[in-house]
Structure 1
Amino acid sequence: MEINAETKIVGLIGHPVLHSFSPFIHNLAFEILGLNYKYLTFDVLPENLKDALKGIISLGIKGVNVTIPHKETVIENLDFVSPEARIIGAVNTIVNDNGNLNGYNTDVFGFTESLKKYKDLLSNTPAFIFGAGGSARAVIYSLITNFQPERIVIANRNLTRAESLVRYFSQVLGYKDFEVKEFFPPEIAGDIKSSRLIVNTTPIGMYPNSNELPFQSDETFHEGQIVYDLVYNPPMTKFLKLAQSKGAKVISGVEMLILQASKSFELWTGKQMPVEEVKKFLLKKLKLRKKRNDT
């Protein structure tokens, strides 16, 4: 699509932004649908965040995605923050609505939508989460508000952080059926084995450390489980391969990546992203990148 005076700009603010797949995803979707939009990246240092937000308004930028380290700090500078973003404490999408900056968290949509077909299977069953960071917050919010799990076990290296997360969600959402466990001890094997849904929200297993696992034993996985890894590079992590080999259904982080992007896309353009077509090209791109890196 040729850039002209009518081209609408959206983009990404963060630091760093060099390795983001968002420009590829969104610009491909714009091209497929013939929309006169362009997605750019803006490397914004923390001390320049307020000026960057003013620039979005001044330049008429339609909206931006927000990545680290701005997801939390940006909230206090917005005109409106959606309920899910307010509770999670993180915004990853901003819409410039005629000079009003409105913040959303589309990770919740991405996670929820990717599990929607399993809702009956997951409702009122145990869930297990590796990690207690920002991604875990979106996952916990989604599980409590959409799937009503029987219990949620959170395994994290920093127990204090996990306990703080539990206290917070118990208070704001009224959900009390949490357990907190240390990350690696053998006793979590039983919790994993008895859980219907297991989610890795940590970067363990992400390229270039693709041989790492959040949990070493394969005796905990079995048929009837759904194992979800939010890592999307590689699309099929060692963790997912291990679970699949034991009969579990597996979901790649590519699903959440594309679906959260599709919600941002819709908020900016009012159009539906061609999700399956974009996913096909993204998987191809990830495969080519892996091939280059392996040679």
Structure 2
Amino acid sequence: MKRYGLIGYPLGHSFSQRYFTEKFEREGIAECVYENFAIESVDRLDEVLERHPDLCGFNVTIPYKERIVPRLRSMAEEAEKIGAVNCVRVTPEGLFGYNTDAHGFRTSLLRLLGGARPRQALVLGTGGASKAVKYVLTELGIPFDVVSRTAAAGDYTYENLSRDTVRTHRLIVNATPLGTFPNTDACPDIPYEAVGKEHFLFDLVYNPPLTEFLRRGQMRGAAVVNGYDMLVGQAEKAWAIWNGDE
């Protein structure tokens, strides 16, 4: 039996277990199982590894994408540059970390933008997921500013983010968990009245499919996309890594 899984806390919002279970059934992949490991501290990872010696690899989600780094033997170059890991390969030599969020985000973002390249972007949030977003935007040559709850963590806070700033930043990426089921009424507190049909709104949240953030942008004519395609892309990239295809 080959075992794969997901660590994080809490895990009620995760799509990974369902996705991989359906993938195994759909593609006839036998003797494989994927399960959630909701651990209240990253230090409890040792318990998971001891209890499941057949664990071949696992995904990492909130809040451990950065906290997992000191526990790794090595990191892929892209993950090291990003500073966050969401995919780990388990080997007899130790744990090896990768970042597949960047691959998933890049693929989905380019599909949203088509041939457009906004002159400026806003990244909402400063966690592990936002690091992959910022890495991809830098790679694509799209300048960005970061919006955070505290002045020390970003270029803007939600309190001082003006309509003019939103108006000139035509790509807005929600890299926070705000709006995730069951808290579907929540959304980042930005001046949505400044969003228009020239805007692109990307929400890393995928459940619900139309978050409040996206709904408000869509009402004003913006092109919108949720995080589902990004998750599929990063999941397939992780599968390739775990099976030595990368």
**What TM bracket, shorter-length normalisation?**
0.7 to 0.9
Q: Which of 53, 74, 80 pairs up with 1:80?
A: 74
Q: Which of 63, 85, 90 pairs up with 2:57?
A: 63
Of the structure 1 ranges 107-116 and 8-17, higher mean CA displacement relative to structure 2 is found in: 8-17
| Separation of aligned partners in 2, 1:116 and 1:137 | 18
Q: Which residue of 2 aligns with 1:152?
A: 144
Q: Which residue of 1 aligns with 2:223?
A: 249
Q: Percent identity?
A: 36
Q: Which residue of 2 aligns with 1:142?
A: 136
Q: Which of 2, 12, 18 pairs up with 2:6?
A: 12
Kindly report the root-mean-square deviation, in angstroms, between the aligned alpha carbons of the 2 structures: 2.3
1:205-247 deviation line (CA, Å, top 9, x unaligned): 2223322332354331222321111122211012212211222
Q: Does residue 208 in structure 1 map to residue 202 in structure 2?
A: no
| Alpha carbons 1:15, 1:68 under 8 Å: kept | yes
Q: Does residue 38 in structure 1 map to residue 33 in structure 2?
A: yes
| Separation of aligned partners in 2, 1:244 and 1:203 | 19
| Separation of aligned partners in 1, 2:98 and 2:199 | 31
What letter is aligned with 1:49? L
Q: Which of 230, 237, 241 pairs up with 1:263?
A: 237
Shift of 1:270: 6.0
Matches within 5 A, 1:1-295: 7-36=1-30, 37-44=32-39, 45-53=41-49, 59-97=53-91, 99-117=93-111, 118=113, 120-122=115-117, 125-145=119-139, 147-149=140-142, 151-162=143-154, 180-185=155-160, 187-215=161-189, 217-269=191-243
What letter is aligned with 2:45? L
| Separation of aligned partners in 2, 1:39 and 1:221 | 40
| Structure possessing the higher radius of gyration over alpha carbons | 1
Shift of 1:29: 0.9
| Separation of aligned partners in 1, 2:57 and 2:236 | 14
| Separation of aligned partners in 1, 2:73 and 2:10 | 25
| Separation of aligned partners in 2, 1:240 and 1:19 | 18
Q: Which has the higher helix share?
A: 1
| Alpha carbons 2:13, 2:207 under 8 Å: kept | no
Q: Which residue of 2 aligns with 1:177?
A: none
| Separation of aligned partners in 1, 2:146 and 2:114 | 20
1:95-152 deviation line (CA, Å, top 9, x unaligned): 13454422101111111110123364126x111112222221111011102x111x31
1:17-37 deviation line (CA, Å, top 9, x unaligned): 354221101111111111122
Give me the TM-score of the superposition, normalised by structure 2: 0.87
Paired residue total: 242
- Note the residue ranges of structure 1 that are not aligned, 5 or more in a row: 1-6, 163-179, 272-295
| Alpha carbons 1:109, 1:260 under 8 Å: kept | yes
| Separation of aligned partners in 2, 1:154 and 1:16 | 25
Residues 76, 161 of structure 1: alpha-carbon distance in 2 compared, 3 angstrom cutoff:
same
Shift of 1:251: 0.8
